[in-house]
Structure 1
Amino acid sequence: MNIFGTMQKMGRSLMLPVACMPAAGILLGIGGNSEVAKFLPDIVAQVMSEAGLGVFANMSLLFAIGVALGFTKNDGVAALAAGLGYLTMVRVLGVVAPGTETGVFGGVIMGLVAAQLFNKYHTIQLPTYLGFFGGKRFVPIVTSLAACVVAGILAVIWQPIGAGIAAFSEWAAYQSPEVAFGIYGIVERSLIPFGLHHIWNAPFFYEVGQFTTA
């Protein structure tokens, strides 16, 4: 597959986790809005708010699963491997580089790794005494091991990447917002005909910037 086809597939893969957001946003908007929630029993408002937050708090995991599904023709084993790999990566990062937050980028990376390993090993044949772990069952195992390696690499390279994202956020929000928004809009509109705008949008929607809870 050429680079353009791969990028299109990536764009379609990102659509699946994005499709989860409207329902979560509605739940969070109703349950977390004091003006609306006052018409509901407290327990109902709290349940709706937490249900919406549950989706937004795990967007990285959803991106890992969505990307893996998109590159493996919606195979459930690949999704399981991506989820396992992402959780493993996060735990290992917590040990080797405490405080490192890769966000949705980490999810996308782990989804790509899981998909690649699935496509390579889902038909693997092991010796008879290990036959139970052959085929698709081997994929989650090798993905969890690969996640440890990915975590080690990210522990080294993510600090400058994260600093770059933070610096770009600062520039876009406070120094040259007009230029930043203009560049974003031109590129986003240019990519729409090719179906690649979801790749461009993902870091802006889920990574760039920061917030403080009230």
Structure 2
Amino acid sequence: MKYLQKLGKALMLPVACLPICGILMGIGYLLCPASMQGGDITGFGPLVGIFLVKAGGALIDNMALLFVIGVGVGMSEDNDGTGGLAALASWLMITTLLSTGFVTTLFPSIADNVDKTLAFDKIANPFIGILAGVIGSTCYNKFKNTKLPDWLSFFSGKRCVAIVAGVVSIVVSVVLLFVWPILFGLLISVGKGIAGMGAIGAGIYAFLNRLLIPTGLHHALNNVFWFDTIGLGDLTHFWAGETSADVNWSLGMYMSGFFPCMMFGIPGAALAMIQCAKDNKKKVAIGLVASAALCAFVCGVTEPFEFGFMFLAPGLYVVYALLYGIFTVITTLVGFRAGFSFSAGATDLLFSASLPAAQRTVLIIPLGIAAFIVFYVVFRFAITKFDLKTPGREDDDDTDETKVTLANNDYTEVAKVILEGVGGKENVTSIDNCITRLRLEIKDYTAVDEKKIKSAGVAGVIRPGKNAVQVVVGTKVQFVADEFKKLCK
């Protein structure tokens, strides 16, 4: 669980890049409907719109790559950029070795299997991005101090990290070469199995769609229900101007349930997170989840919200996915029908409302109100009942440490006193820092002298474990950490 929470924190930086991009795309679609619906793009407004769509899409479409760097750096000791470089090497290795073109060259028979080909078409996804980030950061943490023979000494230390990450990535690619298409094909089979179950099937699909977001395998189900993989094509038929009379299912039923959840449910959950955040972290929580909620409402980009908590509170994410399934069943039964060509935000709702398959779109108001209330109540209850570490509720945020002021502005001297208090550099195995704390891993906890550490003028010393010491320095911790690292070299 701690590892998942660390991963969740590492994802905060790349996730923070996404909300503004989603908002830009939503505005862009409003100014330039042709960018979504097709047609000529003429006039100043539409040109500005397509410019904003492309600007936002530059990051949204490359979200996996942001995760590569964010996790690679964020999970590396000292947040060293070498971990990010190794992660990028891993990503390039995996996505190249598992690209459709290369895989079909190795095994030409795959080209004749639509499901397997589709699986490798979707290999550049957030799951592979996070996996590459984990490989890069783990290789950095394990091999950054590697010493090689003199004739290979140039590749010693950090220089060998990317090389090791590349070797590991080759092994991982070989495993995924056989495992990935099996998982992808299995999900397509599941999709075919639930396609004929009516409203319940639509709910199961929506649940699995959200549940699989972290892995990228939701694309397998999407292709079953949204496109013509097995003869459905809910999305393509909807935007082609057809109606339920032209197909053998209720057209739009596999898209409609996402609208109340994304437009209203996510803002409700976001409000619960903000209200449950610790007093000194409410502004941080507002900055992250409120902007993500606006992004989801406008254009249905949900990843900034989802990746903001799925690894911090995985159990809550399962509940979140379940709420999608429930609301999709309800939406299907009451007859609300809307479609999307990008995602289930207000922009797509506006454009799809005029299509022949759209039905009872005014129901988005009561459905949205219900979704807002249900998501809010469920999230607030779960967060407070089980003390979930959603944004703004992390363990190291119990006091307002941002207001701590060091008694001594000689950072070198402060670092020397702290180092002496933790038993000297021989007793230190790892050095890191967050916004306000110097985080140290030590060998012998009995060698720690808290009084000595506090004599440096720091606000406090926390001992979360036998081999861990956290020194509350305040917002100037980075300067103290830099000096501390120099003293330990």
When structure 1 is superposed on structure 2, of 113-122 and 61-70 the one drifting more is 61-70
* Residue in structure 2 matched with residue 208 of structure 1 by the alignment: none
- 1:1-214 matches, within 5 Å, as 4-33=1-30, 34=32, 40=45, 42=47, 44-73=48-77, 74-94=79-99, 95-96=102-103, 99=117, 100=120, 101-102=122-123, 103-166=125-188, 171=194, 175-178=200-203, 195-197=312-314, 200=317
Alpha carbons of 1:17 and 1:97: their partners in 2 closer, same or farther (altered >3 Å)? farther
Alpha carbons of 1:118 and 1:148: their partners in 2 closer, same or farther (altered >3 Å)? same
Alpha carbons of 1:200 and 1:96: their partners in 2 closer, same or farther (altered >3 Å)? farther
Q: Give the drift of 1:158.
A: 0.4
**One-letter amino acid matched to 1:12:** K
The gaps in structure 2 that reach 5 residues or longer are 34-40, 106-116, 212-260, 262-268, 273-308, 322-339, 343-347, 349-489
Q: Give the drift of 1:18.
A: 1.8
Contact 1:15/1:198, CA 8 A, preserved across alignment: no
Structure 1 length normalisation: TM-score? 0.73
Q: What SS is found at the alignment partner of 2:148?
A: coil
Once residues 15 and 167 of structure 1 are traced to their aligned partners in structure 2, the CA distance between those partners, rounded to angstroms, is 34
**One-letter amino acid matched to 2:172:** V
Contact 2:144/2:158, CA 8 A, preserved across alignment: yes
Compare the two structures and name the one with the higher strand fraction. Answer: 2
Structure 2 length normalisation: TM-score? 0.35
Once residues 47 and 126 of structure 1 are traced to their aligned partners in structure 2, the CA distance between those partners, rounded to angstroms, is 51
Q: Give the drift of 1:119.
A: 0.8
Once residues 164 and 66 of structure 1 are traced to their aligned partners in structure 2, the CA distance between those partners, rounded to angstroms, is 31
Q: Give the drift of 1:90.
A: 0.6
CA deviation string 1:11-43 (max 9, x = no partner) = 2223222211112112222333326x965472x
Alpha carbons of 1:57 and 1:127: their partners in 2 closer, same or farther (altered >3 Å)? same
Contact 1:96/1:152, CA 8 A, preserved across alignment: no
Larger radius of gyration: 2
Contact 2:73/2:84, CA 8 A, preserved across alignment: yes
1 or 2 for the larger relative contact order (CA 8 Å, sep ≥6)? 1
Contact 2:21/2:55, CA 8 A, preserved across alignment: yes
Once residues 200 and 115 of structure 1 are traced to their aligned partners in structure 2, the CA distance between those partners, rounded to angstroms, is 25
Count of aligned residue pairs for this structure pair: 197
Give the RMSD, CA atoms, in angstroms.
3.7
Once residues 158 and 315 of structure 2 are traced to their aligned partners in structure 1, the CA distance between those partners, rounded to angstroms, is 30
Q: Give the drift of 1:165.
A: 4.3
Once residues 20 and 115 of structure 1 are traced to their aligned partners in structure 2, the CA distance between those partners, rounded to angstroms, is 21
Contact 2:90/2:166, CA 8 A, preserved across alignment: yes
Q: Give the drift of 1:106.
A: 1.1
Q: Give the drift of 1:148.
A: 1.9
Q: Give the drift of 1:75.
A: 1.5
Alpha carbons of 1:145 and 1:47: their partners in 2 closer, same or farther (altered >3 Å)? farther
* Residue in structure 2 matched with residue 207 of structure 1 by the alignment: none
Contact 1:14/1:67, CA 8 A, preserved across alignment: yes
Compare the two structures and name the one with the higher helix fraction. Answer: 1
Q: What SS is found at the alignment partner of 2:147?
A: coil
The gaps in structure 1 that reach 5 residues or longer are 205-210
Q: What SS is found at the alignment partner of 2:11?
A: helix
